[in-house]
Chains A and B, each alone.
Chain A
């Protein structure tokens, strides 16, 4: 029971974090058809900027200014790089952002060194919010979840209930018509790209203070985020929310379970035979927990190739 509740809680919060990063990615994709490989780099940049700013000023300044800086970088990339290669097709845009991933990673290594930096949350945020079965549950985890939730609500209201959201959705569905009606569509694209980058930067600034902040964080999270958007269906916010939570909960359960294929065979009386096989069959789920998202993705692809909430190709 303890395991069940703690794992679910951790999983949901990790899922919310994944959603925070994938929301911007899927928003940008839905609108511009650009899959931004460098999106997870924005997450990393957010964490590092916040680390520097929290050293210079304080934690909250970092939390607010870092996303803005990331947004500026994002808009620069959209305006002066992506727009330039747009004529050569989506594959080139994808490749360009792919190249940027390496530039960002190497620049971070150049400036901060190829090792984790000590980005910490302030002490007054370091307390236990409640006590679960004798262990304290850190408030900061809940804080990450709350920020993500707040972000989802703001995004949802902004997109569906305001004039700005209407223009954005119009520019997404029918860019030419939106332009004909007098809206500055390239400006909208620029804004959305900046906003998406800011979201990633914000999640980096929030999560970097809890998880390690190192030059590999972009790649580590990036791959999982791509799995999220494939499972959820690219371009669908709701899909990526569901997929994030699914993957978050699955990963968090997998870490704590020592089930293996052999124990599955044990249920039907083939346990000894399976244990004798060794290799993959006896490997406990906990040690291969990193593979769980990818397995989930393969299953989704087999059953529902368009993703949970995605439209057909």
Chain B
């Protein structure tokens, strides 16, 4: 616990000190990462703690964004004096109301139906918004300007970054505090055994609506921050893409741990920032990462880290080092092969390449990994196979070895290590 606190404080200090040294591009990427982190944390309140899987959280994110844009317009035209720093409060309030209304409908059903209803509600907004000019500004959307407040002009990205950071830290802090309240425990109980909640005299439907509304409220804050940062919003904030990304972030990070989704959101949005500059296929890579995590690490990155921390005294680290290094190497080989194939296909199958072939009549070599490749040269396609096949073989071997070492460890110190694992798995 003490280490966790120190780690968080160190991270916070880094987040405060580092950005002025970075370029505007990275500052902007960090703003987006922070917003994604808050959105994922808010989403996880519903999914990880409340056990209600929503596929339409973009709705509340978008409602927050549009509320703030409207308010910013009013401030800009001098209709209402409202300090820029407090704008997310308005987004939060409106999202809370919308969340309560939507939650009333959605929580009538549970499980798969709940997921579908939330998806449909977001799609309802998404299909309505482009036609409703006064409210959502049609297809072009609405835009506005940040007004100075509290002595800050909010003209530079850096000032917006610190505004975002403060709101995100406060909101994540509140979300963490929520998990420690009796109502937070009730939320967990709702996930684990709804029947029993009713049996104990609680109003399950009412509780679900409240959890849904609170989650929507914090999503609204994230949306507000997005609107403040971009100074614009259009109907695409309601799109399935936005809802999908938060699901991806949350489950890659691991929904069973409070900080999992936050880690997932930060890692993946910075990954997107770096990769989307290089390739159009970044969404494909994210999809592959997500499916791999679902298949091989169902508790996400956070779950893997947590398991390591819990077992840190019992694991035979010296004997594990070699298989871990081997797994990393093999993983890199497989990743290289995949990236190579995808990037090659992206270039060779593109319209530009087809046009060039039609123009010159020959298949020009293309560049991947800082090397030129001939399309019809056998080595071009042998290369990924040479990486992939041994890579997969080594990966299997390494993981089999790691598995035996972990399991052996369980046998060694008996029930103590096995008990928490059983508890965790029994909880589902």
Task: Tell whether A and B belong to one assembly.
Answer: yes
Binding site for B on A (CB under 8 A): 29, 35, 81, 84-85, 88-92, 94-96, 98-100, 102-103, 105-107, 109-111, 113-114, 219, 223, 226-227, 229-230, 234, 278-280, 283, 287-288, 290-291, 293-295, 297-298, 301-302, 305, 313
- Cβ-defined contact, B115 with A279, below 8 A: no
| Chain A CB within 8 A of B221 CB | no
Q: A292 vs B283: C-alpha distance in the bound complex, in angstroms?
A: 30
Q: A298 vs B288: C-alpha distance in the bound complex, in angstroms?
A: 34
- Cβ-defined contact, B113 with A234, below 8 A: yes
The interface residues of chain A lying within 8 Å CB-to-CB of B251 are: 95
Q: Mark B47-58, 1 if CB is under 8 A from A, else 0.
A: 000000101000
Q: Mark B103-115, 1 if CB is under 8 A from A, else 0.
A: 0010011111101
Q: A105 vs B283: C-alpha distance in the bound complex, in angstroms?
A: 9
The residue on A at minimum CB distance from B350 is A113
Q: How far is the CB of B191 from chain A (nearest CB, A)?
A: 10
The interface residues of chain A lying within 8 Å CB-to-CB of B150 are: none
- Cβ-defined contact, A283 with B287, below 8 A: no
Given contacts A84-B295, A229-B116, 7 further A-B contacts (CB under 8 A): A89-B428, A95-B251, A96-B291, A103-B288, A230-B117, A283-B131, A294-B120
**Partner of A111 from B115, B117, B283, B345 at Cβ < 8 Å:** B345
> Given the interface contacts A103-B291, A223-B240, A301-B108, does A110 sit within 8 Å of B284 by beta carbon?
yes
The interface residues of chain B lying within 8 Å CB-to-CB of A229 are: 116
- Cβ-defined contact, B295 with A313, below 8 A: no
> Given the interface contacts A219-B240, A234-B113, A302-B105, does A94 sit within 8 Å of B120 by beta carbon?
no
Binding site for A on B (CB under 8 A): 53, 55, 105, 108-113, 115-117, 119-121, 123-124, 127-128, 131-132, 134-135, 240, 244, 247-248, 251, 280-281, 283-284, 286-288, 290-291, 294-295, 298, 342, 345-346, 349-351, 428
> Given the interface contacts A91-B53, A110-B281, A113-B351, does A279 sit within 8 Å of B135 by beta carbon?
yes
8 contacts between A and B (CB under 8 A): A88-B428, A95-B290, A109-B281, A111-B345, A226-B116, A280-B135, A283-B131, A297-B117
The interface residues of chain B lying within 8 Å CB-to-CB of A234 are: 112-113
A-B contact count (CB 8 A): 127
Kindly list the 10 A-B residue pairs having the minimum CB-CB distance in the complex, ordered from nearest: A106-B284, A102-B287, A290-B127, A294-B124, A99-B290, A103-B287, A99-B291, A35-B112, A88-B298, A96-B294
The residue on B at minimum CB distance from A29 is B112
Q: How far is the CB of A126 from chain B (nearest CB, A)?
A: 28
Q: A105 vs B112: C-alpha distance in the bound complex, in angstroms?
A: 22
The interface residues of chain B lying within 8 Å CB-to-CB of A91 are: 53
The interface residues of chain B lying within 8 Å CB-to-CB of A287 are: 131
> Given the interface contacts A288-B128, A297-B120, A301-B117, does A110 sit within 8 Å of B53 by beta carbon?
no
The interface residues of chain B lying within 8 Å CB-to-CB of A98 are: 55, 244, 247
The interface residues of chain B lying within 8 Å CB-to-CB of A288 are: 127-128, 131
